[in-house]
Structure formats: structure tokens, C-alpha cells
């Protein structure tokens, strides 16, 4: 599967893409580093509405990267994060994003915590 380096290449390609609305990276083990690469996509992409990162081992650190990018994103409506070893800190980052996000955002979080 795709790991952090692959996520970097995808992020670069998707940064200014205007046609892709769904990105499914389920079970690719991109980790926190891969999540950090995807932040530029989330910050600049204006068409992506669904991002599936279930089972990618992003942890609290990767969750922090993603939630920081979501503060700038105005189009993503669904973020799937199940099975990512997200603990208390990651839950706090998600809660703060939900509190401050101006876009309706649906999180899928089942079995996210370790």
C-alpha cells in the first residue's frame, strides 16, 4: 500500500486538482508523516469533500496535522479516521476543530482510540 512517501506524491498532485471529490486511502499506513503531507492538499484543494483515512496509523501527531489544515479548508465534509490509534490528544484536536470549523464536518471515529 501507499506509505508516507506515496502520500507526499499524492498530495502534490491533488493540491490544485479541480475534479477529484473523494480520496480513499483506507488501510495504507501513511502514518503521521503521510498525514502531514496531506495538509497542503486540505489547505488548498477546493473540490475534495470526502477523505477516508481509516486504518492509516496516523495517531495523535497526524491528527494534529490534519486538524490544523481543516481550519483553512472550506469544502471537506467527511473525514474518516477509524482505527488510527488516536488517543486523548488527538481527540482534543478533533474537538477543537469541530468547535471552530465553519463547514459542517462529519467525522467517522469508531475504534479510533487506543
**What was the pLDDT predicted at 113?**
53
Taking a C-beta distance cutoff of 8 angstroms, is the pair 53, 86 a contact? Answer: no
Please state the pTM of the whole predicted model. 0.89
Q: Is the pLDDT of residue 112 over 70?
A: no
- In the beta sheet, which residues pair with residue 51? 23, 79
- Other Cβ atoms less than 10 A from the Cβ of 102: the count is 8
SS3 category, 68: helix
Can you spell out the DSSP letters for 37-66? Answer: HHHHHHHH-SS--EEE-TTS--HHHHHHHH
Set out the domains of the chain in order of their start, with CATH numbers: 4-108 (3.80.10.10)
Mean pLDDT of 85-93: 94
Name which residue leads in pLDDT, 107 or 63.
63
The fraction of the chain above a pLDDT of 90, given in percent, is 70
**Percent above pLDDT 70 for the chain:** 94
The pLDDT value recorded for residue 4 is 94
**What is the band of 111 on the pLDDT scale with cuts at 50, 70, 90?**
low
31-86 residue pLDDT tens: 999 999 999 889 889 999 999 999 999 999 999 999 999 988 889 989 999 999 99
Amino acid at each position: 500500500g501507499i506509505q508516507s512517501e506515496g502520500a507526499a506524491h499524492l498530495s502534490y498532485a491533488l493540491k490544485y486538482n479541480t475534479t477529484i471529490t473523494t480520496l480513499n486511502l483506507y488501510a495504507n499506513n501513511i502514518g503521521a508523516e503521510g498525514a502531514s503531507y496531506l495538509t497542503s492538499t486540505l489547505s488548498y484543494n477546493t473540490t475534495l469533500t470526502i477523505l477516508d483515512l481509516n486504518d492509516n496509523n496516523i495517531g495523535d501527531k497526524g491528527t494534529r496535522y490534519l486538524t490544523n489544515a481543516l481550519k483553512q479548508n472550506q469544502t471537506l465534509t467527511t473525514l474518516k479516521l477509524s482505527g488510527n490509534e488516536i488517543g486523548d490528544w488527538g481527540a482534543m484536536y478533533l474537538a477543537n476543530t469541530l468547535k471552530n470549523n465553519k463547514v459542517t464536518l462529519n467525522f467517522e471515529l469508531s475504534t479510533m482510540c487506543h
